[in-house]
Structure 1
Amino acid sequence: MATWAYPPLPADQLRHEEETALSKELEWLLASLQESLASLRDGLQECAGLLAPKEPGSTLVVSSVRSESVKGFVTRVGTRIVKGDIHLRLTSLPPPRGANSTRLNVSSVPGAPELVLDQLAAVRNLVNQGLDVVDVSTFTGDPLNASFISGQLRLLYEHISEAKSALKGNAETSKWWEHSADSSVFDPPLPPYLSFHLTIVDAALVLHLRTLEPNPANQASGSFGAEIGLSIRDRLFGPRLPSHDEQNDVFVWQGEEVKVKEKIRVETQDPSLIAVMAKLSALEHEVLKCRASLKIVMGDEDSDLE
């Protein structure tokens, strides 16, 4: 900070005047940050309201775009799927006798397992933790302690960034073989070797349905003849192109090695989750600005804000 004074002041007095001016500027900034924290609280409360379990919830269409493979809907209330009626017409999943599709119906029987969206539960917890940070910064701690407020802003930024990351989805949430829905969530239960994996990707609800089969490598009988047949067919017609990106992979699902026969992906936009993502992005940007301003006045502008 450059300070000009005329007539020139002695060095000690000039340094004292600079420190006094910086102290007053820091005090003013800390007071103004309380207004920013109040605004951040309002934004977090709006996010919490959008994620709250309010009836009747959000009913979302879950249907494949250019085929009859998947047709139906689910109803989300807060972090749970409370209703769902989906009809499947998959090549590798013959329908029950007398039906033209396989029906997946989320159970309404008392005591049945709930279909919880763990990512939304994480987002809701992180938003609530952010609200706690704002309350501590405003009502419990010293609002004029720059180091305290700086630490609280860093903590708030981490909570908001983690919440936004949970809504975007990551490699951990995509592990379908670990996070497939419990068969007894549905009434009747899911057919054998069918994985129902519901997740959040970029604030959209994404359903992956996979029909599975035991890993052929573990089934010795008949494998030699099958290999010969495949070899002859490959020489005559060329190798068959994989029908999906997991065709040659082996997964451990429910304690058994399996391969994926057929894979269907259906995405549906959830307006409430899109609004939460937009609000979290704006809040993250606002907190970053507050942190940058405080670090500059504290003389710590070279430190890493991430």
Structure 2
Amino acid sequence: MSTLVWPPVTTGTRLHNQEESTRLRELEWLLASLQDTLRSLKAGLEECAHLLAPVEPGSTLVLSSLRSENLKGFITRVGARIVKGDIYLRIPSLPPPKPQTSYKLSISSLPTAPTMMLQQLTTTRTLINACLDVVDATCWTGDSNNADFVSSQMRLLHDNIQEAKASLKGWTDSQKPWNEDPMDENAFMPPLPPNVAFHLSVSEAAVLLHVRTLEAAYPNTGTNTPLSFTPGGVVSSYSGLSLRERLATALGGPRPAFHDEAHEVFMYKGQEVRVRDKVRVESQDPSLMAAMAKLGALERSIALSRRALDTVMGKADDDDD
């Protein structure tokens, strides 16, 4: 069997010119096909924007602590705003007024009340709108036949989609911890007690609520000896319970706190405090789950398109994403 190729492959400048001509035709075809991809991406982004839009009556989410009666209630989300809600607390450090059996927190409906916002959803909507602007600029304003321009726009689109998805997953670099982002007490009616910290956030496309009761970190107990400091500005004790705490409990004092922040000290509203009791409740939000799933699919689609374009442009190994 002969291994010769007929007609024989030319070498040198002629072969290089033919390869370059083929690559340019393939690039022209790919740039044209990317216009369809961008239109499909725009439709998906518009669906995500609709899922996060402030459309009445909004989403009512049930709040219930697992395996306990510590927290029960609901909140209603309209876009990034929490417009109403009632939360009932049964925790030892927050006794209810007599003759009630639980302490009620009601989100104020007064027009003068501060707006309770989920900042992560605001960030996500801003990034999605930025993506839509990028798609419009790529399809209508810029030169759709310029491979370098399209490549830079696709990179920007990819980055924005990744940031929007990360914002729905939660705990991004821009997200403040609870003690640096206190809730305005006037957002509730009656106002939130000064020893209660109420913090809402988004984690894995679910609304996450933490309610903490606080106490002074160093009450006047006849000693000025502080706790030991650990890296990061958080204060902790060396042991689980101090001798003073054990004696106080034995003499009928309040029980010690048992949670992951029990022996840390936080700076909250200019004061050093400890967390006496902590309740964590997670409520799945179908709209947020759908939006994050769509953003994940869009992220994969744009990544494939970018890889194909970089390969044809001959710079597949230039960027490490």
TM-based fold match above 0.5: yes
Alpha-carbon distance, 1:228 to partner: 5.7
Distance 1:211 1:118 in 2: 23
Q: Distance in 2 between matches of 1:294 and 1:119?
A: 32
Tell me the equivalent position of 1:66: 67
- In structure 2, the residue matched to 1:155 is 156
Shift of 1:263: 0.5
Change over 3 Å in CA distance of 1:250–1:109 after alignment to 2: same
CA contact (8 A) 2:127 2:163 kept: yes
Which residue type is aligned with residue 159 of structure 2? Answer: E
* Pair 1:7-2:8 in alignment: yes
**C-alpha distance 299-171 of structure 1, shift in aligned 2 (>3 A):** closer
Asked if structure 2 preserves the Cα contact closer than 8 Å seen for 1:205 and 1:267, the reply is yes
Compute the RMSD of aligned alpha carbons.
Answer: 2.2
Q: Give the letter aligned to residue 160 of structure 1.
A: I
Q: Report the alpha carbon displacement of residue 250 of structure 1 after superposing the two structures with TM.
A: 0.7
In structure 1, C-alpha distance between the alignment counterparts of 2:285 and 2:192, rounded to whole Å: 25
CA separation of 1:260/1:233 partners in 2, compared to 1, >3 Å: closer, same or farther?
closer
Aligned to 2:231: none
8 A contact 2:262–2:275 mirrored in 1: yes
For residues 83-162 of structure 1, what are the structure 2 equivalents within 5 Å?
A: 83-162=84-163
Q: Sort the Cα spacing of 1:50 and 1:12 in 2 relative to 1 into closer, same or farther, 3 A.
A: same
Q: Deviations over 1:126-162 (max 9, x none)?
A: 0000000000000000001000000000000000000
2: CA distance, partners of 1:76 / 1:67: 25
1:234 Cα deviation from its structure 2 partner? 10
Residue 220 of structure 1 deviates from its aligned partner by 3.6
Q: CA contact under 8 A between 1:292 and 1:305: conserved in structure 2?
A: no
Structure 2: segments with no counterpart, 5+ residues: 225-240
1:260 aligned partner: 275
Give the whole-Å Cα distance in 1 for the aligned partners of 2:64 and 2:213. Answer: 17
Which has the larger helix fraction?
1
Q: Deviations over 1:225-275 (max 9, x none)?
A: x9764466899xxxx986001111111111111000001000010000000
Letter in 1 for 2:293: A
Q: In the TM superposition, what is the alpha-carbon distance from 1:182 to its structure 2 partner?
A: 1.0
User: Does the CA contact (< 8 Å) of 1:291 and 1:305 recur in 2?
Assistant: no
For residue 192 of structure 1, report the CA deviation from its aligned partner. Answer: 2.0
Contact 1:60–1:73 at 8 Å: present in 2 too?
Answer: yes
User: How far apart, CA to CA, are the structure 1 residues paired with 2:24 and 2:76?
Assistant: 55
What is the aligned-residue identity percentage?
51
Number of matched pairs: 296
- CA distance in 1: counterparts of 2:33 and 2:320, whole angstroms: 20
1:286 counterpart = 2:301: yes
Query: CA 1:19–1:200 in structure 2 vs 1: closer, same or farther (change >3 Å)?
Result: same
2:189 aligned to 171, 183, 187, which one? Answer: 187
| Secondary structure of the structure 2 residue equivalent to 1:62 | strand
